[in-house]
Structure 1
């Protein structure tokens, strides 16, 4: 019988952007000099397909705010939202069912434009598998959740197995102080690239890491906000390398 060539691995859909978009310092770099703040999101969404929002870390978004975001962006656009600090820093995932439910219900107002929810834990919170297991059990089904651990004590097989069981993503974060192991725990990936700048070689290496994990159907990547406005250019350069 004739042999058939192996089916090539399906490339993930990659959405890349920055952490935030409303930065006056980006005028003259990414935004036109005279662009009003009210038009920044619409301009941003014509260049990039996703943004990570920090506003939700401090307060729940109002329905009017979510509607405004949705109206200014095209249908494929996705918002990643950072979970409230009350959940991650004050309650530290304990006894958080009520506030987590309120948050998930509120952000549902984005409809199909809702992307992942990022639970960024404080650096001083060390590994506690039972704490994480209890919290994962209260998350509503169908909501994409990523967890960023900023203590290396969390980087264990037990934690990866818990995330995998609940289809939650290990946020792969890269900074001057800590880099998360590139472990896939969900059908989709979440990257936060937090260094001040990335060379062409750095971008090549990160593109290769994303390609290597064929398990992912979809990948979100967010570059750090900085005043020079390099983040959008870095996001587009990464997308070019990935053919997205």
Structure 2
């Protein structure tokens, strides 16, 4: 059976969608009553205390999963080089999610081209310390060739299928085939636009087809609240 996780980038429920969620409890508890997964993006900007991750894990059902974005210190400041201390700190923090920890998301800056030696060294370091699911969202065109996907596959790292795609080939998930991960940022206006019903219907049909053992769909069109309606609609259609 394929495991399907649909959610949004963040869980604070916009007021216009409050009626679709239970009225009582924290935003996270209410969110987790309707959607099976969420992506933590705040970890990209600042660290969270281990106790915070543990509190979040305690607030959701057993089957709920969190994807967690790696810090920009690793991806954007250090650009994957010399990241041992920052990576260890992040893994200690996010590890407090326990069995509710889903994929780690490594989002790369658009300026970071594919360099096999650098990427191989960092992913080897990551794999020495973490055996769970990992997904990478590269945004430089040089990543979307056979060499980039081969390196990701070797380290059991899936590649995000992004919309809008930052480069040719970026719309389709790639890398390690054991996980599919879609990040949908809204189109035509990134972070704002809701997806048309026919677009969600096509995606639901795709998700119902046999594919990877685990599939994630995260809506990041959160600026005006479209993500929550899109996620609930897709969840209902995909069954």
TM-score by length of 1: 0.85
Residues 176 and 96 from structure 1, CA distance in 2 versus in 1: closer, same or farther, beyond 3 angstroms?
closer
Instruction: Classify the secondary structure of the residue corresponding to 1:47.
Output: coil
Q: Judge conservation of contact 2:4–2:216 (CA < 8 Å) in 1.
A: yes
Structure 1 match to 2:234 = 238
Q: Judge conservation of contact 1:167–1:185 (CA < 8 Å) in 2.
A: yes
Residues 141 and 95 from structure 1, CA distance in 2 versus in 1: closer, same or farther, beyond 3 angstroms?
same
Distance 2:220 2:115 in 1: 28
Distance 1:164 1:209 in 2: 22
Distance 1:95 1:210 in 2: 38
Distance 1:86 1:118 in 2: 14
Structure 1 match to 2:16 = 28
Deviation, structure 1 residue 129: 1.8
Structure 2 match to 1:7 = none
Distance 1:63 1:141 in 2: 17
Distance 1:191 1:176 in 2: 11
Deviation, structure 1 residue 227: 4.3
Deviation, structure 1 residue 118: 0.6
1:173-207 Cα deviation digits (max 9, x unpaired): 11275543332524111110111221122113323
Q: Judge conservation of contact 2:157–2:175 (CA < 8 Å) in 1.
A: no
Distance 2:171 2:142 in 1: 11
The answer to which structure, 1 or 2, has the higher relative contact order (CA under 8 A, 6+ apart) is 1
RMSD across aligned positions (CA)? 2.3
1:23-46 Cα deviation digits (max 9, x unpaired): 5xx11323589x69x711111000
Deviation, structure 1 residue 56: 0.7
Deviation, structure 1 residue 209: 3.9
Q: Judge conservation of contact 1:163–1:186 (CA < 8 Å) in 2.
A: no
Q: Judge conservation of contact 2:3–2:214 (CA < 8 Å) in 1.
A: yes
Distance 1:222 1:31 in 2: 21
Paired residues in the alignment total 229
Structure 1 match to 2:156 = 167
Matched, 1:121 2:118: no
Indicate which of 144, 151, 156 corresponds to 2:145: 156
1:25-79 Cα deviation digits (max 9, x unpaired): x11323589x69x711111000101111111112222122112211211111111
Distance 1:53 1:233 in 2: 18
Indicate which of 61, 66, 77 corresponds to 2:64: 77
Deviation, structure 1 residue 231: 1.3
- Structure 1 residues 1-40: aligned runs within 5 Å: 10=1, 12-22=2-12, 26-30=14-18, 39-40=26-27
Instruction: Classify the secondary structure of the residue corresponding to 1:28.
Output: helix
Greater mean alpha carbon deviation, residues 51-60 or residues 169-178: 169-178
Q: Which runs of 5+ in 2 are unaligned?
A: 187-192
Structure 2 match to 1:146 = 135
Larger radius of gyration: 1
Matched, 1:100 2:87: yes
Residues 80 and 130 from structure 1, CA distance in 2 versus in 1: closer, same or farther, beyond 3 angstroms?
same
Structure 1 match to 2:179 = 188
